[in-house]
């Protein structure tokens, strides 16, 4: 203790002698095994350390982290940071950076029903706890009523700490927890005015929460659109509200604190519709979710909204399910009966080079026109809100309207809204904005993992903010339509809750495998899933394994499992420094068997050579979760010009949980730059109906 006290005195003197520069907020990673022993807690040590290096009274850390990472967050000058780096246990520090948002009928489209499948088998996800890290929650929404809910599960360690205008009585047997985290945002913006509350002042968090685990709401609709019932499983909800501004978004320190708390509280599923940043050992989301996975938490994470460009995927961490956005078979339409209501403008948006269809609609606001018919040159019509009485029509219908207008002395029209049509189009399609792989962070892992409903999704909304900010005047509604991988992520989280309810002993990797290997790669017309806006079939770089199918995922037959050591082996193969890998693992680690070939439910092979041919080999291990005695044969969807070989071609299981391995060999010519080819390997049950499919992508990227 005397030696450490001397160290504190030394660095205190050093800090006081150096000029104090402008402070910034840092997240400091520490090795807990190297911390001095005399302190009663990590927080006590961090406080003493900060006091020793600081020349100002705020010696307490902004946050102390014990679960998601080991370390703390503090506002430090460059000189203070340099002093901290000399302290026992220091691993690394990163600046606290802002992260952005990735902004009912869908349950029917997923095939969920009360008669058979994932809902009744899982008892609607009963007692599975979904944590949501987002902008907050509107607790009075009917989606968060606890009607029909049983008592709170015994394993729940959290509480209701809602803060301002959020009494603890607003939590119930559905919304079982609420906390808020905004110290990082406040530290970065000392003069900002914030409300210390878990209440949602934006709407995004309420929307995704209701999608993941909202209760039954009769007549859920958005101004007459999508009339019906908003249904979600009987899972529980815990909200971890982040401080948020439109300019900065969230701060990493707050995100880590939220996940740190969620792990301690005992959640089962974590839904993250926020952006990531940087390499695995730099990205706070990747680091914190590694710890959550170690604690048995399944992570559903948005892929990002930077599509359709390749290499735009938001996160590459192999321990999370990366979710892209797909469309569903619903359209919100206006109709044109032959009555005159004001003057309506016919406009061809595809004649404009700079303004898109939404900008064209925006230009009409305040002009006195009653409405607009906007012709767009696209195969799929926009579905987002525009805040103006208008409808979009494609070129064919636009020509019919143009011919009518041109051939009539007194053309008349009106717009009648609030018609919802289901089953009217082939679906799903991959949304154009949904980010694409390969992952620039972990190119050896095929991302995204799958797609889920994310386009024009109706969900609950906070009831004091207009649901459409473009509209003139305030239009308040209990539900809103939103699109993005943000909306797809809670769908996947809800499906994971159903599987966790049906199979409580499954690992996060087992749940991910079941969802991926049973995903639909054909649309509702039994044709390959396409990319929205084109007739091109979507590749796994856009849709991953395909569109999630909860009823098929319930009984996959075989799974690709992985544990913490498997992920450590993968990290070791990336050649990080010792400090970098300890930032993620938070403990001692074993790098004796590094392998980039993780036991993942998909494959990506790079043929980046210039001339000749190349061979790539993968090894995978399957675990039997189906019938005790069963056999499976490999069925290959090959790529022209390439040889696929599976060894052995048949797997015979003689017991449940038995593990058997196989090799996949791919041989073929070097590819031109930018080439993307794809096939699959499917293990088909010889005396049953199970089919375990894994996508294969061959690229030069």
Band (348; pLDDT cuts 50, 70, 90): low
Single out the catalytic residue among 29, 42, 204, 207.
204
The pLDDT assigned to 699 comes to 96
Please answer whether residues 195 and 165 qualify as being in contact, where contact means their C-beta atoms are separated by less than 8 angstroms.
Answer: yes
Detail the DSSP E strand segments found in 188-253.
217-222, 225-230, 236-242, 250-251
Give the pLDDT mean for 73-81.
Answer: 93
Nearest CA among 205, 195, 188, 197 for reference residue 137: 205
Residue range 627-641, pLDDT digits in tens: 999 999 999 999 999
Structure tokens belonging to residue 258: 């939220």
Cα–Cα distance, 504 to 519 (Å, whole number): 21
Q: How far is CA 363 from CA 346, 355, 384, 540, 640, in A?
A: 13, 10, 16, 38, 50
Single out the catalytic residue among 31, 96, 127, 134.
134
Q: For this structure, is 134 an active site residue? A: yes
The pLDDT assigned to 119 comes to 85
Band (471; pLDDT cuts 50, 70, 90): very low
Single out the catalytic residue among 486, 602, 630, 694.
486
Q: For this structure, is 204 an active site residue? A: yes
| Contacts of residue 607, Cβ cutoff 8 Å, sequence gap at least 6 | 614, 616, 668, 669, 670, 671, 675, 698, 699, 700
Residue range 38-53, pLDDT digits in tens: 788 889 999 999 998 8
The pLDDT assigned to 421 comes to 46
The pLDDT assigned to 4 comes to 45
> Which carries the bigger pLDDT value, residue 107 or residue 471?
107
Q: What is the largest CA-CA distance in the chain?
A: 98
Band (349; pLDDT cuts 50, 70, 90): low
The pLDDT assigned to 475 comes to 55
Residue range 543-590, pLDDT digits in tens: 999 999 999 999 999 999 999 999 999 999 999 999 999 999 988 889
Give the pLDDT mean for 472-493.
Answer: 77
> Which carries the bigger pLDDT value, residue 579 or residue 331?
579
Residue range 359-406, pLDDT digits in tens: 555 555 555 667 778 777 654 555 555 556 777 777 677 777 877 777
Residue range 84-102, pLDDT digits in tens: 999 999 999 999 999 988 7
* Global pTM value: 0.85
């Amino acid at each position: 203790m005397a030696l450490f006290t001397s160290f504190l005195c030394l660095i205190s003197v050093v800090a006081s002698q150096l000029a104090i520069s402008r402070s910034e907020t840092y997240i400091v990673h520490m090795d807990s095994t190297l911390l001095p022993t005399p302190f009663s807690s990590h927080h006590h040590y961090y406080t003493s350390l900060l006091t020793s290096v600081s020349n100002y009274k705020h010696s307490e850390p902004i946050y102390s982290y014990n679960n998601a990472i080991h370390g703390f967050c503090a506002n430090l000058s460059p000189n203070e940071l340099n002093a901290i780096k000399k302290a026992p246990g220091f691993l690394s520090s990163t600046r606290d950076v802002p992260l952005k948002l990735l902004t009912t009928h869908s349950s029917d489209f997923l095939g969920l029903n009360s008669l058979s499948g994932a809902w009744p088998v899982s008892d609607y996800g009963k007692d599975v706890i979904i944590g949501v890290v987002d902008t907050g929650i509107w607790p009075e929404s009917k989606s968060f009523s606890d009607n029909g809910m049983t008592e709170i599960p015994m394993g729940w360690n959290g509480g209701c700490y809602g803060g301002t205008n959020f009494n603890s009585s607003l939590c119930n047997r559905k919304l079982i927890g609420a906390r808020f985290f905004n110290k990082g945002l406040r530290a970065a913006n000392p003069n900002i005015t914030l409300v210390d509350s878990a209440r949602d002042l934006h709407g995004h968090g309420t929307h995704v929460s209701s999608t993941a685990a909202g209760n039954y709401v009769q007549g859920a609709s958005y101004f007459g659109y999508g009339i019906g019932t908003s249904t979600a499983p009987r899972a529980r909800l815990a909200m971890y509200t982040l401080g948020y501004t439109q300019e900065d978004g969230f701060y990493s320190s707050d995100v880590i604190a939220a996940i740190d708390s969620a792990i301690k509280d005992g959640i089962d599923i974590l839904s993250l519709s926020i952006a990531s940043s940087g390499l695995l050992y730099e990205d706070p989301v990747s680091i914190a979710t590694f710890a959550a996975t170690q604690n048995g938490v399944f992570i559903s994470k948005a892929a990002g909204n930077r599509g359709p460009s390749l290499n735009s995927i938001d996160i590459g961490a192999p321990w999370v399910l990366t979710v892209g956005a797909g469309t569903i078979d619903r359209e919100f339409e206006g109709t044109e009966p032959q009555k005159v209501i004001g003057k309506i403008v016919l406009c061809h948006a595809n004649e404009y080079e700079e303004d898109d269809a939404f900008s064209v609609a925006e230009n009409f606001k305040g002009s006195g026109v009653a409405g607009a018919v906007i012709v767009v040159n696209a195969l799929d019509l926009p579905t987002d809100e525009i805040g103006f009485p208008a409808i979009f029509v494609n070129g064919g219908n636009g020509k019919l309207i143009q011919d009518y207008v041109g051939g009539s002395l007194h053309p008349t029209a009106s717009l009648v809204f609030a018609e919802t049509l289901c089953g009217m189009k082939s679906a799903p399609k991959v949304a154009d904005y949904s980010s694409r792989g390969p992952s620039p962070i972990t190119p050896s892992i095929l991302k995204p993992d799958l797609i889920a409903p994310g386009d024009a999704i109706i969900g609950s909304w906070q009831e004091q903010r207009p649901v459409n900010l473009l509209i003139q005047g305030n239009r308040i509604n209990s539900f809103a339509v939103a699109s993005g991988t943000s909306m797809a992520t809670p769908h996947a989280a809800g499906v994971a809750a159903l599987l966790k309810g049906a199979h409580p002993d499954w690992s996060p990797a087992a749940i991910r495998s079941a969802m991926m290997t049973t995903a639909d790669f054909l649309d509702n017309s039994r044709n390959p899933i396409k990319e929205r806006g084109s007739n091109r079939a979507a590749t796994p770089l856009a849709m991953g394994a395909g569109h999630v199918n909860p009823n098929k995922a319930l009984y996959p037959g075989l799974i690709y499992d992985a544990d913490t050591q498997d992920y450590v082996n993968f990290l070791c193969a990336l050649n990080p420094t010792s400090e970098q890998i300890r930032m993620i693992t938070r403990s001692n680690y074993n790098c004796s068997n590094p392998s980039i070939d993780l036991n993942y439910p998909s494959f990506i092979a790079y043929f980046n050579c210039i001339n000749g041919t190349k061979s790539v080999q993968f090894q995978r291990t399957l675990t039997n979760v189906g019938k005790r005695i069963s056999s499976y044969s490999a069925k290959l969807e090959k790529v022209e010009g390439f040889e696929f070989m599976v060894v052995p071609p048949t797997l015979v299981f003689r017991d449940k949980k038995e593990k058997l391995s196989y090799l996949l060999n791919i041989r073929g010519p070097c590819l031109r730059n930018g080439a993307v080819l794809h096939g699959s390997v499917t293990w088909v049950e010889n005396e049953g109906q199970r089919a375990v499919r894994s996508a294969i992508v061959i690229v030069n990227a």
